[in-house]
Chain A
Amino acid sequence: MIVETLLPLGKEEPRLRAPKVPLSICRVVEDAQLVMIPGRIYAHEYS
């Protein structure tokens, strides 16, 4: 199965209300690189 995520990580589908954690366009490159490397996500979440 192909597994995808929204950005930022942990974001829930927003429906029609403003999301709790908005996407930052300035962090897209950095966040996408995190998504691509699972080891780094682990390090990021638990460090």
Chain B
Amino acid sequence: MALAEQKTDLAEARLAAISIPQAGAWLSEARNAAAARLRRMGLPVGRDEYWRYTRPDTLTSVAPVAAAVFDAQDEVPIFAEIETLHIVFVDGVFDAEESDDLTGENLEVARLAEAGQADIHWAQQLFGQLEAAAHTHVDRPLAALNTAIAPDGMLIRVTGPVTKPVHITYRHRDEHSDACLHHVIRLEAGSSLTLLENGPAAARFNKVMEVEIADRAAFHHIRAQGRDHERRAATHIFARLGTESRFKSFTLTANGVMTRNECVIDLQGDNAAAHVAGAALGDGDFHHDDTVFVTHDALNCESRQVFKKVLRNGATGVFQGKILVKEGAQKTDGYQISQSLLLDDDSVFLAKPELEIYADDVACSHGSTTGAIDETALYYLRSRGIPRIEAQDMLVLSFLAEAIDEIEDPDISAEIILRLQGWLARHRH
């Protein structure tokens, strides 16, 4: 079978297997347009260059692979101590009982499933738009699939500074669940929001988040993908940044047999800054893929990609990161680092860093390393009386520090460090 045909067949099979809920005109149009995009692209197969290091089959198949539900008895849920506007989805279904009222200062929050019934909604200017614009250099068909079929998601408009974070928890209860959510976030000029996300969501989760950040607005995003090991996830963040705006995203991934996190950032206004970071910890059949594409299309913008992976017992880490500096995007400051710490000889780290630059006055640097625990540093710590295991944990946290430093709020970074320490304590020989 020809490759294109195989990909199209996969897409058709997925679309045929799903009954898309009825919606108002704007949402139906957006969904139909996305389905058309998907049909044109087809779903990814292993031979696609962009899927060279991560097998897409379990993400594209009609039915998800079952995943045992994991109930963490030994830790309180992450971010539980932080006062937030809490929104809960269970297996991708909105849980009104568990969620707070969808109101807050300087916030307009609505569910896609409800707002999509209306004839008009502010989100129609954005829904599927950033996703549609992100296929210019590389196809991202799983995101188009999401736009076409996602039954729900949150539509969040931020009109000023929001002090209390919005917190979305994704619970997993059914071992065959297949969740698909599509969020749209619009930060109006000068506004700010912190978004927290946690949880595995389902046996399989396809999530898209489109974020438009207007001039001088700031968006902080911290996510923890949950300890369920058997879950699979394909997520996309599409962010568009206006003048002097800020985007900061940090993801903690501990466990998971299949995670593909894509982040596509478009710097369109001058003097904007986008930072995207990740810390991933994996054991055994863990597979984690960070795929990032940052486009500089304005003057004097800064971007940072900081991705760190700790791998043991044959775990696999993947990083594909690109900085594209368009013609005229002078004074760009682009930085990219991807590193892995291999705790044994069986684990694998695959990295593909790329730079593509069409402006002449820019500073871009990238680096990628793979290494083991530094024996000299370990000896130094032990010579001070710190036992080997504790010393090793300190060095793992030391390795992850540059990524964790991207979290601005000290309470949230303390929460993340606590989870990292918990994982390390549970994964000792």
Q: Do they bind each other?
A: no
Q: List residues of A whose CB falls within 8 A of some B CB.
A: none
Q: List residues of B whose CB falls within 8 A of some A CB.
A: none
